[in-house]
Amino acid sequence: MRVNELNVHLMGSFIFCTSFFNSEAQYRERYLRWIDYYSGIELSKDKPLVIIDDGSPDLSFVGSEASVWKVEAGFPDQLDKVNIFTFPNNLGRVSHLGYWGWWRSFLFSFEIAKNYNLEKIIHIESDCFLLTEKATSALEDFKDGWMSFWTDKYRFPETNIQVITKSEFSHLDNLEEMVRREKRKTFGSTVHAEHLLPFTKVDKDMVGDRYGEENLPLSSGMDYYCQTPPEIRVTPEVFNQL
């Protein structure tokens, strides 16, 4: 078995984020930080980590920490412990709500789940960190439906953190059509993902928000922290210790 190999047939779920980076520095600052953190906490002990990449120009510096797969080459026989699926081109973000690269990457997570017959998708964005067992248990214990946390700042579901079970995978075709429809609009999309995704539950019990937008420090009582700036050092040692 390779160092980074994991028997995905024993797994029921996986954890993923989306990515785009222009340099090795950006990769290490943001995405390697995500890999290191989630590799080091209990939530991922029996789950592959997956980064779905929007056509970053160079991945040659990715080391043994992750296996890189080209989307156009098809799926590998099994997932490794840490995986980067990269698209051949970058769709990026063309307007405030026209983040087509994110949509393509996000919806590709359904294809991964279906290909490996997985029961649950856990989405935690690359600048978002779950800090307590309360937060990780909420995702781990969720059995049926589509759940997110809540951002009190913006008063809508926190799409940086989601859990989607197999019962909701049938929404893929509808979501793909909705995205195509939004792309056809003359003046671009007018719909937030937060209002488009069909959540069945929004967990408002967690203490967390997009604190990085205010440059707030990590502090006691936080269950999660989103939009984490590079200068905040987040390591597995802080988990459940604030």
- How many structural domains are present in the chain? 1
pLDDT per residue over 173-210, tens digit each?
999 998 888 777 755 666 788 888 999 999 999 999 99
For the chain, how far is it from start to end, CA to CA, in angstroms? 37
- Residue 81: inside a domain, yes or no? yes
User: What is the pairing mode between strands 224-225 and 129-130?
Assistant: antiparallel
CATH number at 109 reads 3.90.550.10
Determine the pLDDT at residue 96.
Answer: 74
Whether 76 has a pLDDT exceeding 70, the answer reads: yes
Q: Return d(Cα 164, Cα 142) in angstroms, integer.
A: 9
CB 33 within 8 A of CB 234: yes
Owning domain of residue 22: 8-238
Q: Among 47, 54, 49, which Cα is nearest to 34's?
A: 49
Give percent of the chain with pLDDT exceeding 90: 83
Whether 110 has a pLDDT exceeding 50, the answer reads: yes
- Residue 84: inside a domain, yes or no? yes
- Residue 218: inside a domain, yes or no? yes
Model-level pTM?
0.93
Whether 1 has a pLDDT exceeding 70, the answer reads: no
Q: Report long-range pairs for 168-173 (Cβ below 8 Å, ≥24 apart).
A: 168/198, 168/200, 169/110, 169/113, 169/114, 171/146, 171/198, 172/107, 172/110
- Residue 2: inside a domain, yes or no? no
Determine the pLDDT at residue 5.
Answer: 54
pLDDT per residue over 214-242, tens digit each?
999 999 999 999 999 999 999 999 999 98
- Residue 233: inside a domain, yes or no? yes
- Residue 3: inside a domain, yes or no? no
